Amino acid sequence: MVPQDELELIERLKQGDEAAFRTLVERYQDLVYNTALGIVQNESDAEDVAQEVFIQVYRSIGNFKSEAKLSTWIYRITTTRALDLLRARKSKKRFGLLKRLWETEEESPVENIQDFNHPGVSLERKEEAAQLMTAIAQLPENQKVAFVLHKLEGLSYLEIATVMGNTLPAVESLMHRARLNLRKILEKKISTP
């Protein structure tokens, strides 16, 4: 059940109340940014995704049905936007590869994942986190989203199922496969000098 103060905030948002929108941003900015950062693994891109999320929330709040929690809806928008950015980046890389086949220009350097910095990772574990984030980036989209929402954002499997529009067993399966794939990726990295 949606809390009363959230229902009031939603109603104020639907009426175009700017103060309500500021409250929404203050309340959910960390959730949106951290979720996006866990998926796109780049601070600038995460900021861009966060801006797009709040713009979409502002534009489409009138369609929100209040059947689920507002945070669930915002998580869904955030994961969709972050995945859209990754898909666009992959498409751009494919086009860039084709273009480079015909041109002699050097490829621009790929962003260094070692510089990855997530608020939930302590300073002494940055190197391990960078390796883990590199491995997470290689997971299939659904596994990546489930893993980030559970391990970095602390959502339960049931909450993840709601955000992703999946069943609980489907999320359990995604998490199981994500762990297996991460283990394979990390073991391969460790065994390769």
Assign residue 33 the CATH number of its domain.
Answer: 1.10.1740.10
**Distance set, CA 116 to CA 37, 131, 133, 134, 152 (Å):** 9, 10, 8, 9, 14
Tokens of 91: 């498409």
Tens of pLDDT, residue by residue over 126-154, are 667 777 888 888 999 999 999 999 988 88
Contact 81, 51 (CB under 8 A): no
Contact 56, 130 (CB under 8 A): no
Segment among 89-93, 102-106, 114-118 with least mean pLDDT: 102-106
Alpha-carbon torsion angle 103, 106, 133, 135, nearest 10: 60
Residue 103 binned pLDDT confidence (cut-offs 50, 70, 90): very low
Q: Is residue 112 part of a domain?
A: no
User: Model-level pTM?
Assistant: 0.70
Domain that holds residue 50: 1-104
Cβ-based neighbours of 152, under 8 Å, separated by 6 or more: 34, 35, 38, 118, 120
Q: Is residue 110 part of a domain?
A: no
CA distance linking residue 109 with residue 107, whole number of Å: 6
Q: Is residue 4 part of a domain?
A: yes
Residue 100 binned pLDDT confidence (cut-offs 50, 70, 90): very low
* Residue 136, domain CATH: 1.10.10.10
